[in-house]
A and B are shown apart, each in its own frame.
Chain A
Amino acid sequence: MASSLDSRAFVPAQPMLPRPFRVLENRKENHDTFSLRLGCADGPKPFDFSPGQFNMLYLPGVGEAAISISALAPRPGCVLHTVRAVGALTKALKTLKAGDALGLRGPFGNGWPLEEAEDGDAVFVAGGIGLAPLRPALQRVLERRRRYKRVILLYGARSPAEIIYSRELRRWRQSGAVEAHVTVDRCAGDWKGRVGVVTNLLEGMYFQSGKSTAFVCGHEIMMRFSAAELERRGVAAERIHVCLERNMKCAVGFCGHCQFGPEFICRDGPVFHYPRVRGRLAVRAL
Chain B
Amino acid sequence: MERKLEALLEDHPFLINFPKRYLSLMAGCAKNVRFATGRFLHREGEPSDAFFLLRRGRVAIEIHVPNRSPLTVQTLEAGDMLGWSWLTPPHRWRFDARAVEDVTAFALDGACLRGKCEADHELGYQLSKRVLACVAQRLDATRLQLLDLYGLQP
The answer to whether A and B come from one shared complex is yes
Q: Choose the segment among A17-25, A47-55, A188-196 that binds chain B (4+ C-beta atoms closer than 8 Å).
A: A188-196
The number of residues on chain B lying at the interface, defined by a beta carbon within 8 Å of a beta carbon of chain A, is 29
CA distance A139 to B18 in the complex (A): 43
Cβ-defined contact, A188 with B144, below 8 A: no
CA distance A191 to B100 in the complex (A): 9
Secondary structure type dominating chain B contacts? mixed
Q: Choose the segment among A141-149, A217-225, A254-262 that binds chain B (4+ C-beta atoms closer than 8 Å).
A: A217-225
Cβ-defined contact, B60 with A127, below 8 A: no
CB proximity to B under 8 Å, residues A220-248: 220-222, 225, 244-246
CA distance A43 to B154 in the complex (A): 34
Cβ-defined contact, B154 with A245, below 8 A: yes
Interface residues on A, range: 35 or more
State whether the Cβ of B119 lies closer than 8 Å to any Cβ in chain A. Answer: no
| A86 contacts across to B, CB distance below 8 A | 153
State whether the Cβ of A186 lies closer than 8 Å to any Cβ in chain B. Answer: yes
Cβ-defined contact, A196 with B100, below 8 A: no
State whether the Cβ of B71 lies closer than 8 Å to any Cβ in chain A. Answer: yes
| B148 contacts across to A, CB distance below 8 A | 158, 185
| A192 contacts across to B, CB distance below 8 A | 58, 100-101
Nearest CB in chain B to that of A196: its residue: B74
Question: Beyond A187-B72, A188-B68, A225-B144, is A194–B58 a contact (Cβ under 8 Å)?
Answer: yes
| A186 contacts across to B, CB distance below 8 A | 71-73, 145
CA distance A61 to B124 in the complex (A): 68
State whether the Cβ of B17 lies closer than 8 Å to any Cβ in chain A. Answer: no
CA distance A39 to B77 in the complex (A): 45
CB-CB nearest 6 A-B residue pairs: A128-B150, A188-B69, A158-B150, A219-B149, A195-B75, A197-B144
Instruction: Enumerate 13 A-B pairs (CB-CB under 8 Å) in ascending A order.
Output: A86-B153, A158-B151, A185-B150, A186-B72, A188-B65, A188-B69, A194-B58, A196-B74, A196-B141, A204-B13, A218-B150, A218-B154, A222-B149
Q: Please give the residue numbers on chain A whose beta carbons come within 8 Å of chain B beta carbons, in ascending order.
A: 86, 127-130, 156-158, 162, 183, 185-189, 191-197, 199-200, 203-204, 218-222, 225, 244-246
